[in-house]
Structure 1
């Protein structure tokens, strides 16, 4: 098997022939896909197909604490992204903040860079390799293409994957309405997360970044997704300003409209 970590150190872009090949593969994959699906969905599926991964996700980020997964190819990909959202750690986080490809081999070894994430990720698929490739079409990272494989390396090199990620990023920049058109029940809708974050800010008087961190911590502590915690905030079942919520368990079992006075 090729040493992908070593290949990742060898350069930052494929040659003209490689670019032509990748663009051709992308065009053919999009042509074969469901043209009624949103562009982000088709681009995500194309990346998985071209690189022969077992699954993948496209994540956009306009500011460091804010992440929006616009497409996942299957349930496992969604669960990997949800883990990173809840934990605030993982290869996608580093790929975005440092603008470089991050390869994480999850195999139960003690050398994992993200021990909590790796431990939980292995519980999803067993041993797996994750490739987090930043999308930086204009030189600035706007998101991450994350792929995973349980069968071996990707079908193309890291430089080809980087070019493909940049091409996909450019396509998404040219299609700003595609994000608003997506609705994946496996991923928290960003508007609802913003609403819940604002409610926590009002309840506790903390900064938005701290409120979001609290939501993530709650999700991890309760073994829930961020979307589930968001729902408890919005419906009033969880209110951090209520004494009972903080002392009798994180999530209150009260129903909206029946709170004690």
Structure 2
């Protein structure tokens, strides 16, 4: 079956992209844009594991928050699998077709009003940030277009979450941060990351900062290693 998206649907999606992209300037709730353009009941966005910690960044309702809490407590579920595999986990009828890898989580779902769950990994370059969980009270599927739209929104949300994490944590101080040479090295390293990962300049710098934070190093130290080709984000992303 061919699904034709109306012009209003695409306009709504464009507005959601714009709103999410500007969230760091407007302090917009990160969950709301997903609800406006996707046929789901609730959304939860969370960071998972080291180094960013395991916590809910935002949840659209109590059921979405509970979905996150269950997975945190049990250490299993779609959000963990999505981040581990770096692939979306799409479960259209979780009560009847739960994943054998999440036996306790699937059983715990009986206590909630969740019928289907869709988990998308939040990654920025080589950094594993967390996941976005979308749920519906009834079993349902997402179309290819809806999956693509969700993936795009999740990519934007990942950058916003990383920005918020870096702002809320103290990074290792760099005594040379104000020196011209230091700025030139960071600028050069940013350009190299940009080329390695085919991302924009702001995202490349964000990846440098996130990598430095996750390894308890200064941005200057990481930039030096990137320029010296001791750190190659392409290799890191491929696991080599």
TM-score (norm 2): 0.55
Does residue 137 of structure 1 match 2:124? Answer: yes
Q: Distance in 2 between matches of 1:179 and 1:149?
A: 32
**Displacement after TM superposition at 1:108 (Å):** 3.2
Q: Distance in 2 between matches of 1:177 and 1:64?
A: 11
**Displacement after TM superposition at 1:115 (Å):** 1.9
Match for residue 92 of structure 1 among 59, 62, 79: 79
* Structure 2: segments with no counterpart, 5+ residues: 3-8, 170-240
**Displacement after TM superposition at 1:85 (Å):** 1.0
Match for residue 108 of structure 2 among 108, 111, 120: 120
**Displacement after TM superposition at 1:64 (Å):** 7.3
**Displacement after TM superposition at 1:70 (Å):** 1.1
Match for residue 48 of structure 1 among 35, 44, 64: 35
**Displacement after TM superposition at 1:159 (Å):** 2.2
Match for residue 63 of structure 1 among 46, 50, 59: 50
C-alpha RMSD of the superposition: 3.6
Q: Distance in 2 between matches of 1:178 and 1:49?
A: 27
Match for residue 68 of structure 2 among 52, 60, 81: 81
Q: Secondary structure at the match of 2:72?
A: helix
Q: Distance in 2 between matches of 1:47 and 1:73?
A: 10
**Displacement after TM superposition at 1:51 (Å):** 1.4
Q: Distance in 2 between matches of 1:132 and 1:139?
A: 19
Hey, what does 1:160 align to over in structure 2?
A: 149
**Displacement after TM superposition at 1:120 (Å):** 1.1
Hey, what does 1:25 align to over in structure 2?
A: 16
**Displacement after TM superposition at 1:107 (Å):** 2.2
**Displacement after TM superposition at 1:30 (Å):** 8.7
Deviation by residue 1:31-90 (Cα, 9 ceiling, x = unmatched): 9x9x98x54xx1112222221311111111351794121111110011111111111110
Q: Distance in 1 between matches of 2:124 and 2:52?
A: 21
Q: Secondary structure at the match of 1:175?
A: helix
CA 1:97/1:20 → structure 2, altered by over 3 Å: closer, same or farther? Answer: farther
Does residue 147 of structure 1 match 2:134? Answer: yes
Does residue 170 of structure 1 match 2:159? Answer: yes
Asked whether the 8 Å contact 2:45–2:59 carries over to 1, the reply is yes
CA 1:46/1:25 → structure 2, altered by over 3 Å: closer, same or farther? Answer: closer
Query: After the TM superposition, which residues 145-224 of structure 1 pair with which residues of structure 2 at under 5 Å, given as runs?
Result: 145-151=132-138, 152-154=140-142, 156-176=145-165
* Structure 1: segments with no counterpart, 5+ residues: 3-17, 181-261
Asked whether the 8 Å contact 1:55–1:77 carries over to 2, the reply is yes
Hey, what does 1:107 align to over in structure 2?
A: 95
Q: Distance in 2 between matches of 1:124 and 1:59?
A: 19
Report how many aligned residue pairs link the two structures. 159
